[in-house]
Amino acid sequence: MPLQEFAYQKCQELIGSGELIPGKLYSESAMSKQLGISRTPLRTALQQLEKEGLIIRLPQRGFYVYEFKEKDIEELFAIRKAIEGYAVEYIAKTQAEVDLRKAKQHLSAQQEARQSDDYSIFIREDRKFHENLVRALNNKRLVMIYFDLRQSIELIGLKRFKMNSQRNQSISEHKSILKAIENGDPLAAREAVYNHLDMAMMSLKKYLKSIDQL
């Protein structure tokens, strides 16, 4: 694995786990020592994270993790609704080629993972479920935008799926989305996605507020 990719993944893990605290200034030098790499690949990784809006770099000083506000969450989910709502409506309306078998496999994997303490498995299958639908649009640029969007949302709210109730609700909403697509009902498919993302946004807002109160 290239060092810049290693650095990128490790920084993502540190952000997602909360080890890198939003608003606290970190030095590139100290971080490179912590990861056991030189500053060059770390700087490349930080540039990518800054592009994704996850950190803010300060020349000659270091960087800090961006602290997402409620407005940020609303903006991120508004974009998700635009992309995913369009995707499922298009699929249901045109019967576009989409591997529903694969979507159902990801859903089954989520059901198996919902009792696991490793909620990252559930998150991974959740991402694949949604990406499978977006990829059916056969629009590479849209997929790239969507992927970056998911990265940001997951890293700031990964632990909200620690609760089984959140996982069960997500699975039920995924089933509703697939049912509408299979029935060839574009409006129901879009509304199912909107409802799913609205519930996810509310859950994430609640989770972030609980963190602020700690």
Please report, for the domain that includes residue 74, its CATH number: 1.20.120.530
pLDDT of residue 116: 74
CATH number at residue 57: 1.10.10.10
The answer on 106 and 39 residing in a single domain is no
pLDDT of residue 191: 97
The answer on 88 and 20 residing in a single domain is no
What separation in angstroms does the CA of 142 have from each of 80, 131, 133, 134, 135? Answer: 11, 11, 12, 8, 9
pLDDT of residue 157: 64
Domain boundary among 27, 42, 65: 65
For the chain, state the CA radius of gyration. Answer: 18
The phi, psi pair for 84, rounded to 5°, reads -75, -35
The answer on 85 and 19 residing in a single domain is no
The answer on 52 and 38 residing in a single domain is yes
Contacts of 91 (CB under 8 A, 6+ apart): 98, 133, 136, 181, 189
Q: How far apart are CA 189 and CA 183, in angstroms?
A: 9
Domain boundary among 14, 32, 65: 65
pLDDT of residue 100: 77
Number of Cβ atoms within 10 Å of the Cβ of 194: 16
Count of domains forming the chain: 2
Q: Which domain holds residue 149?
A: 70-212
In the chain, which stretches have pLDDT less than 50? none
